[in-house]
Amino acid sequence: MAYRKISVDTVYQKVLALANKEQRGYITPQEFNLFAKQAQQEIFDNYFHDLKTAQLKPKNSTDTSDEINLLNERISIHRKLASVQDSTTTSEYTVPDDAYIISKITFTNSNSQEILITELDSSEFNYATLNPLTAPQSSRPIYIRAAGGEIEVKPNGFTEEVKMYYIARPDNPNWGYVVVNGKALYNVNTSVDFDLHDSEENNLVMRILTLAGISTKDQLLTGTASQDAANTEAKKNN
């Protein structure tokens, strides 16, 4: 699914403009990149907390339904599908490095049907594999998360192509630059844009300003940015 990422340069310029508006000082590219990474991760992590909270609300509310749809839209740009390969002879499959949450794992049978591979915890997994009545078969395989980060599929010798549906971690943002005459100039070739829904641009700016205010002990800047972030969040939920 193609979508427009948030320009890291646009966010940095807005942060600088707002921080300098009342002579609050200069935020270096190194500081900005650290704050940017943390701000993006906080926003991303909050999606899942907010979604869980929204799902617990009474379902007779249009506002609740809209909130869930909005959160799912923002999460959807991080959904991926990967074919994972058997990394050993014991049916262990390597999980993609960018996997944050595994949604489901499937395989395609000889009739071209996509079959769910059921996840079990360690006690359920051991019971299922030892009990003849529940022993996994190629038509109803199970998996457990192995200690090394792989997934282990049973029965042994499972050879079908395995597909993993997962939510990926966002790419770390980076404002790349070159120094010319002692001044940092934006370098698009080494920059990485924010990997969030484009509606989060103002939220990113305010969160970064908040982090910058905390770093410099500037309570006025922190308070102003926090209030703006709260107002932005309130508007999104209305």
Average pLDDT of span 25-29: 88
Does residue 155 have a cis bond before it (omega within 30 degrees)? yes
Residue 200, in any domain of the structure: yes
CB atoms within 10 A of CB 138: 15
The Cα 195–Cα 189 span in angstroms is: 17
Q: Are residues 87 and 144 both part of a single domain?
A: yes
- The last residue of one of the domains, among 168, 198, 229, is 168
Residue 58, in any domain of the structure: no
pLDDT of residue 1: 44
Tell me the pLDDT tens digit for each residue of 69-113: 899 999 999 999 998 866 656 678 888 999 999 999 998 888 888
Structural domain span for residue 107: 79-168
- The residues that bridge with 115 in the sheet, in sequence order, are 107
Integer-rounded Cα radius of gyration of the chain: 23
Q: Are residues 108 and 91 both part of a single domain?
A: yes
Tell me the pLDDT tens digit for each residue of 181-221: 999 999 999 999 999 999 999 999 999 999 988 665 565 56
- The last residue of one of the domains, among 119, 143, 168, is 168
Residue 47, in any domain of the structure: no
The pTM for the full model equals: 0.79
